Every structure is written in C-alpha cells, then in structure tokens.
Amino acid sequence: MFRDSIFLVKTYFLRRFLLIPPTMLGITLVVFMIMRLAPGGPMEEDLRKLMGSPEGKSSRSREESGFNLKPDTLTELAEEYDRDKSNLWHYLEWLGAVPRETVRSAALFSKDSATTSISVPGTIDMISVDRQGKITDYPESEKGKWRVRIQTDVDQGKLWKKYVKGPFEMPKDTPWRAVIYQRKYSGLLQGKLGNSRSYQEPVSLMYRSRMPISLFHGIIEILLIYGICLPLGIIKAIKHKSWIDNASSIAVFAGYAIPGYALGSLLMVYVCARGWFPLGGFTSDAFSSLSFIGKVVDLFYHSAMPLLCYLVGAFAMTTMLIKNNLMDHLAADYVRTAVAKGVSFRNAVFKHALRNSLVPLATTIGGLVSIFVTGSILIEKIFDIDGIGLLQYNALLERDEPVTMGGLAISAFLLLLGNIISDFAVALVDPKISYE
C-alpha cells in the first residue's frame, strides 16, 4: 500500500513537471505576438525619424518632407530589429528551435557589376559574392563558414510596402543587396536570452546582477509575513471581538486600503525628504568601505521604507486568511467533540484546528517563489532601487524585447514551479489529498 502511494505521488508530480514546457510555450508565444503587433516600437521610432513628415502631400518632394529613407536602410533596420521574417519564425529563433543569424554583414551591388565585396566582421578581409549568391573570391577552407542571401529589388519592395505608409514610393532602380551571415542555435532552449537592444548587454547577466536585490527583499518579506501574520492571525481568532482583535483589525485594514506604491510616494515626501531615511538606492555610496556590522545596518536602513511598502498589503490578506479559516475550524464539530472528550483548548487549537486552517495558506506558498526574482516595479521606481522590477519597467518603456521576454520566461517558469510546490505543501498539510 505504501509503495502504491509513493508511485502515485511520483506519477502525479511527473505529470505536473511535464506540463511546464507546453504551458511556458503558450505563455511566451502569446506575449511575444502581442509585443510584435503592438504599434510604436523602436523600429517605428527610427522609421519616423528617417521619414520626416509622411502625412505630407504627395506633391511635396522627398527633400521638402524630410524623407531620408532608402530601401537598403529599411532592410537593415528590419534585420536589426528582427522584422525581416515572419513573427512566428522570429519567435522560434528566440525559443532556440531554429538557428538565428549571429554574425552578419552586407553590401550593395553596383548598377552594372556582377559581384560585390562584403567586409568580414571582425577582420580586414573581404568576401566577393555574385548575383547568384555564390562566393567567388575567398579561401576555400573558409567558404563553408558563411551563408549568402541575395535581396533583389522585389524582396526589398515587400518590406517597403509593409512599413512605408504615405505617398512615397520605393525609388526605381533599387540596387540589389548581398548579405553574408553565420547561424547557430541560440535561444531559450540553449539557456540564452539574447542581448538587450538598449544596453547591448547579455540579458541573463543583467538579471543575474540584480538578483541579489530581489532575493534580499523576497526573503525578508516572506520571513516577516509568516513570522508576524501567522501568530497574529491565531491570536485574532482566539481573541475574537476583544480589544486586541479590534485594534489589530483597524491597523490591518488601514494598511490593506493603501496601495504599496501610494504609501511609497507618501513616505518619500513626508519621511525620506526630511532626512529620516534615504531618498533612494539599495545601499549608500560608501557601502564597500563599511565594516560588516555597518553594512548590515546600512542595508536595512535603505530597505526599511521599501519593505514597509512591500508588506502593507500582504499583511492584511495573510492575517485575515489565517484568522477566518481558524475560526471556521474552531466552530467545527470535530473540535467541539475533542474539547468535550477532555482535550485541552490549547491542544484543540494547535493539534487539530490549526493544521486544517493552514490548507488555504499552503496554496499560496508557491506564488511566493516568484517574489524572489520579480519585486515591485512601482516601488523600485519610487525608491530608485536597481532591482529586477525597475529593469522590467525600463524595458517596457523602451520596448526592449529581449529583456522583457527574458523576464517573462523567468517569471513564468517560477510561477509554474511554485504551483507544484503549492500542491506539495497542501499534501503535507491536508491528509485527505489523494493523487489517484
């Protein structure tokens, strides 16, 4: 019987783990497509600068309207911002299911020339390519490293029709364009999140450097939430309608009514601006020169106000969840029966009612896993904390797709993993759970 139970548990959690990849695939695909279809991206901004006033009348010349866009420039922009192929293909590249172009260089064909020379990235060498896409002048041993793509005026015209809105037609006699490139698998499946378009840094490194800040706030937040709310909820349930319950309820609901970012703004004006606490930052400028005790004090001195904003809403929800569930179980028949048979009220609370009361709380434990790497966007913005929340906020404003998608992938994975942890926690607390 015990072996059968172990087998059922292993099978259940194995199925849950196997559901993580397809669920992440759906989440990332939907968000990726929304970001691509939303107007006003960085490529559109660059196009507006080059096109000047596209809403001008067609009779105006290109120079008068400020129009300075050429077909090859548009093609380069489309390649730079991954808009030269279909959105689904670029999603597969980000995922790592198909190889992406990691090294690329291009050149235009002269009007009457059958070949063109393309500089090799990172070297002073040149590669000669003909209009059929064949490398004509390069060492045989090195030819296999490069692929060639020829973009005719027709190919460039498709991008022109897609992105150029207004009266301007593509110039006639558009020169052909030759591109040499190298491809390799470099995506999420290979553990690569790409490089930030705004900062030109690896996305994984940007998140890793900010991880300690989010870990610090997340761990302290969880310790305070469960260290304070659990005993407070028990006391409120036992001392229901007493002065302790009423006074704590006023404080709890007052905190719940104030959003964390709103409280942060008030604290910034009325507390931090008066010099009682720092106006922002995670540590002081002289943090590295402080002693160990000084570093600890400085760390908590800078984190006191942000942590208060993080906790103000969670305190109320967790405290009332524990109180209400414990009160329901204290009024249940099995608790009254236990007390009638001689079980002390203390044992009835802590050995019978409390364990069953923790079942709803156990379902929320998994969600706390994402706290370690997410943080609060608005709170970090208010207190100028260079954490993951502020990084995601800036990435959204700048439409930095690699950073946004990298944060989404990390958060989605932790959320799905947290749901499995919640199921495991519920199974530990509730003996009635079955995995059949």
Question: What pLDDT, on a 0 to 100 scale, did the predictor assign at position 199?
Answer: 85
For the CA atoms of 18, 21, 26, 29, the dihedral, rounded to the nearest 10 degrees, stands at: -170
| pLDDT of the residue at 2 | 45
Q: What is the mean pLDDT of the chain?
A: 82
pTM (2 d.p.) = 0.80
Quote the DSSP letter at residue 352.
Answer: I
- Name which CATH class applies to 203-429: mainly alpha
Rounded CA-CA distance 392/383 in Å is 15
Instruction: Specify whether the CB–CB gap between 156 and 74 falls below 8 A.
Output: yes
**Contact status, residue 210 vs residue 202, Cβ threshold 8 Å:** no
Per-residue pLDDT tens for 373-395? 665 677 788 888 888 888 888 88
The answer, yes or no, to whether residue 360 has pLDDT greater than 90, is no
pLDDT at 53 over 70: no
- Judge whether residue 56 has pLDDT over 60: no
Q: Say yes or no to pLDDT of 6 above 70.
A: no
pLDDT (average), residues 274-295: 84
pLDDT bucket at 109, cuts 50 / 70 / 90: very high
- Does 55 score more than 50 pLDDT? no
Q: Quick one: tokens of 291? A: 């002693």
Chain position carrying tokens 């597969």: 92
When mean pLDDT is compared across 80-89, 104-113, 245-254, the lowest value belongs to: 245-254
| pLDDT for 66 beyond 90 | no
Amino acid at 63: E
Mean of the pLDDT values across residues 212-228? 82
The C-alpha atoms of residue 280 and residue 302 are separated, in whole angstroms, by 7
Q: Which amino acid is at 60?
A: R
- Specify the pLDDT at position 52: 67
Instruction: Write the pLDDT tens digit of every residue in 124-161.
Output: 889 999 999 898 888 887 888 899 999 998 988 888 88
Mean pLDDT over 240-255 rounds to 83
Q: Where in the chain is the domain with CATH 1.10.3720.10?
A: 203-429
The band of 58, judged by pLDDT with boundaries at 50, 70 and 90, is: very low
Q: What is the pLDDT of residue 375?
A: 59
- At 4 the pLDDT is 54
Tell me how far apart the alpha carbons of residues 69 and 62 are, in angstroms, rounded to a whole number.
9
Residue 60 clears pLDDT 60, i.e. is over it: no
pLDDT of residue 373: 61
CB-based contact 406:393 (threshold 8 Å):
no
Which of 6-10, 203-207, 226-230, 387-391 holds the top average pLDDT?
A: 203-207
φ, ψ for residue 400 (rounded to 5)?
-85, 95
The least confident of 239-248, 273-282, 366-375, 405-414 is 366-375
- pLDDT, position 245: 83
Please indicate whether residue 18 or residue 371 has the higher confidence score (pLDDT): 18
- Beta-bridged to residue 117, according to DSSP, are 128
Residue 320 pLDDT > 80: yes
Give the pLDDT score at 13: 76
Higher-pLDDT residue of 364, 300: 300
Which tokens in the block code for residue 298? Answer: 């400085």
Given a cut of 90, whether residue 427 has pLDDT beyond it is: no
